[in-house]
Structure formats: C-alpha cells, structure tokens
Amino acid sequence: MRIGELAQRAGTSARTLRYYESHGLVRPGRSANGYRVYDEAELRVVHEIRALLAVGFGLDDIRPFVACLRAGNSSGDVCPDSVAVLRRKLAEVDDYLDRLGAVRRQLHDQLARAIAHREETCLRTRRRD
Amino acid sequence: MRIGELAQRAGTSARTLRYYESHGLVRPGRSANGYRVYDEAELRVVHEIRALLAVGFGLDDIRPFVACLRAGNSSGDVCPDSVAVLRRKLAEVDDYLDRLGAVRRQLHDQLARAIAHREETCLRTRRRD
DNA sequence: GGTTGCGTTGACGCCGGTGGCAAGGTTTAG
DNA sequence: CTAAACCTTGCCACCGGCGTCAACGCAACC
C-alpha cells in the first residue's frame, strides 16, 4: 500500500502521514523507486493516532500508544507508558474542567449583573418619562 | 503618563500596550516628541482588557467592552454589545464544557479498561508461575 | 512522445498574544 | 560630553497540526 491509498483509507491526507512519520509515529518501508510502502498494520496505527488526536492528545503523547500497538498488543492503551499518559491526561482534563467551570461561573455572574444593571437603568429611565 | 509607566502600573509590558493599540483597544495621545501619552482612564481600560483576556476572550471580543467604558459607563459589561459577547462566550464555554466532559468520560473509561486488562493479564501470568 | 496522476523533498502560512532584538531619537543626570 | 534610561518603528520567533505550493521523478496509458 502506498501513501495515497493509506491516506484515503485512514480518512486523512498524504501530507499528514508524512508529518506523522517525521515525528516518528508511522514507519513505512520504501520501494525501489523511493515510494513509501505501508502494510496493513500501519492502518491501525494511523487510526489509533487519529482517535487520540481527536481526544486532545498531542503527537508526542501518542508515541507510547503506537509503540504499544507495535509491540503486538490488541489495544494501544494497555502498556505502562500508555497508562501513565492516560492518567496524566485525565488529571490535565480535570484541572481544565475546574478552571473552565470557574470561568463559566464568572461569566454567568458578570452577565447577570450586567442585565440587572440594565433593567435598573431602564426602570429609572421610564420613571423619568 | 508615558508607556513605560502605564505598563508598570497595569502589570504588563510596553510591547503589549502597543499591540493593544494596533488593534484599536488603547488610544494614547502623542506628545511633541512623538511619545505616547496616556491619561488615567486608559489604566482602567487596560485593566479591563487584561481581566477579559484572563477569562479567555480574544482581543476582538474585548473591543465592545472598551467602547462601553469609554462611553462613560462604570462597568464595561453593561452595554448591549458587551452583553451579546458575554452571552456568546457563555454559550461557547458551555459547549466546551460538554465536549470536555465527554472527553473526560472517554479517558476515564479507556483508563479503566486498560487497568482491568492489565490486572487480568497479571492474574494469568501469576497462574502460569 | 506527451499527458495524467501519483510519488518525493522542502519550505512557507496560519493563529494570537507576546518576547526580543535592531537601529535610531530624546531627555536627564553626572 | 557621555552614559543611562526612556521612547520610536519594524520585523523575527514561538506553538502544532496541518494546508498548500514549488519543482521535480516515476509509472502507465494513448
């Protein structure tokens, strides 16, 4: 399988696959003319990458999962390094959820006060009429 | 007041103040030698900008708040345009909270399954010993 | 032989708020 | 007079996952 076919089958672009390769995530062989050649296993790897990216992982975080898959595991999640990353990411997401919740509260209060202020001003204006 | 003093008083840098100005948020006068000259009101404006940036607003979103302050209001929040931006941002944050919650659940499940799988494997290994 | 379609590497663009540097002008203090 | 501290404009760098274009090589079909 060459890069175009893999890209299409994985639902991405050739550019993207080369980018993953430049970051050490995908490892194609080369045919005599220099074309990249991928086996079926790489399709799963690319799917794993895309799934993790969609969840918010960075390429560097994904490396352990790919290594885990390459080591023959049925899931990229089960190796110690992957679990460590999962734990870290979960903690990060929890942190972010907290901060975002605080932002939401502040935004909500700010909005409530602004509307209250506007209604008050509106009432005063009507009394003046 | 010149740019250095305002920067120090607002807890930011001269570079940043020039950037705000290039985006139409801060409006200094100029002295004879070309130096920027700010009055006291600009300090409040800069504080408003920094506060909104800290909450996650972009510079473009902040413009209405600054205009509102400049219009003589005690708060930058009370003008219709500001309220509209607040509403939009609140909706955006709610969306993001939903998505992040979904991510958290997926991460949690993924981690739980990985750990379960590891324990199972560990048990099988021990039985083999 | 020419066209078409795929492949290759390399490099720039984006977004957004800021840091940092260059090369100069001004003002003030010693 | 000079040094230091301030100001000016303008431009490059950053992060990260790509899109996109350039300029070229290879393959296959007419």
Give me the tens of pLDDT residue by residue for chain A, a chain 129 residues long.
999 999 999 999 999 999 999 999 999 999 999 999 999 999 999 999 999 999 999 999 999 999 999 999 999 999 999 999 999 999 999 999 999 999 999 999 999 999 998 888 777 666 666
List, in sequence order, every beta strand (DSSP E) within B36-126. 36-37
Looking at strand C, which nucleotides approach a protein CB closer than 7 A? 6-9, 11, 16-21, 26-27
The pLDDT of residue B128: 61
In this predicted model, what pLDDT tens digit does every residue of B31-52 receive, in sequence order?
999 999 999 999 999 999 999 9
Those residues whose beta carbons lie under 7 A from strand C are A 2-5, 7, 14-15, 18, 28, 34-36; B 12-13, 15-16, 19-20, 23, 32-33, 50, 53, 58-60
Kind and range of the H or E run holding B29: strand B29-30
SS3 B37: strand
Above 90 in pLDDT, residue B23?
yes
Domain A3-128 class, CATH top level? mainly alpha
Angle in degrees, CA A46, A17, A32, rounded to 5: 110
Contact B92, A100 (CB under 8 A): no
Above 70 in pLDDT, residue B21?
yes
